[in-house]
Amino acid sequence: MTAPFISIAWPQLMVALSLVTISGAVSVYYQLKLEKDLAIGAVRTFVQLLAMGYVLNILFGLNNALLVMGLYAVMAFFSVRIVHGRVKEKSISYLFPTTAAVLFSCTLITMLVTKVVIGADPWWNPQYFIPIGGMVAGNSMNALAISLERFFSELRTRRDEVEMMLCHGADYKEATVDIFRKALRAGMIPSINAMMGVGLVSIPGMMTGQILAGANPEEAVRYQIVVMFMLVASTALSSIIVLLLVRRRCFSPAMTLLLRNGNGK
């Protein structure tokens, strides 16, 4: 019996790789100096996805809850690392807030979706838990980076305003209420906007993948709807958690703004 989709052989994969050279050519022609990043990115895509494919194959065979959770923890760890690479603020430590946000929100949403919505049995079934968890962690990672970047940049540019509020007797929450709101909105908006264009402008990755793999488009659509809703929930939850924890760390017990400039002031 033949597979319900066209399998991609290695030579075809190499042809696809050549598509990256288009980006490379643009970078060389306009001297964007992106060639190194592009090469590293292409190699990492290849290696990381192939490794993930092998690991998933093994996991599906072993069906072991601890191993599934271990792989999920590795994915969460890398999402935290990537957030740290993207957010430039160095005067406040946000390792714990980011880790807490990813672990809590992503695990909760992924468990809810696999157990309650999809009804997978067991709930950690790697066929569902790993791809769903990966999507949640990936989107939360973007939301966290956007929220944190926005929060820190607003706090720096509006330092005088925050200090003015503190000087009038505001606590740190009152002094940053508008900045907090803006950062939270910035983190949530991409996943909300994605709901607007889905089906009209874009056919999202998961649905595309299922259709290419031969699934009934109506089935694929139902999964995609679940995915869209879960991403909206997880980005909101992770952004709120990280901002609540990071905001507290930006102020001393004396309600003094700890975010300093290069000269210490």
Closest alpha carbon to 163 in 260, 243, 87: 260
- Among 103, 141, 166, 179, which residue sits at the site for another protein (rule: CB under 8 A)? 166
- Tell me if residue 126 falls in helix, strand or coil: helix
CA distance 218 to 261: 54
Neighbouring CB atoms inside 10 A of 76's CB total 22
Residue 90 interacts with another protein (CB under 8 A)? Answer: no
Residue 161 interacts with another protein (CB under 8 A)? Answer: yes
CA distance 125 to 133: 11
Which range binds another protein by CB under 8 A, 16-24, 57-65, 75-83, 158-166? Answer: 158-166
Residue 259 interacts with another protein (CB under 8 A)? Answer: no
One-letter identity of residue 181: R
- Among 31, 169, 200, 201, which residue sits at the site for another protein (rule: CB under 8 A)? 169
Closest alpha carbon to 204 in 144, 147, 145, 139: 139
Give the C-alpha distances (Å, rounded to integers) separating 56 from 72, 85, 140.
11, 27, 22
Which range binds another protein by CB under 8 A, 31-39, 129-137, 180-188, 251-259? Answer: 251-259
CB contact at 8 A, 135 and 231: yes
Residue 254 interacts with another protein (CB under 8 A)? Answer: yes
Minimum CB separation from another protein for residue 255, in Å?
A: 4
List the x/- string, 174-203, binding to another protein by CB under 8 A. Answer: x-----------------------------
Instruction: Please give the radius of gyration of the chain, using alpha carbons only, rounded to the nearest integer.
Output: 22
Choice between 161 and 192, CB closer to another protein: 161
Closest alpha carbon to 174 in 117, 78, 251: 251
Choice between 111 and 170, CB closer to another protein: 170
Minimum CB separation from another protein for residue 180, in Å?
A: 15
Choice between 163 and 245, CB closer to another protein: 163
Residues that bind another protein (CB under 8 A): 160-161, 163-171, 174, 252, 254-257, 260, 263-265
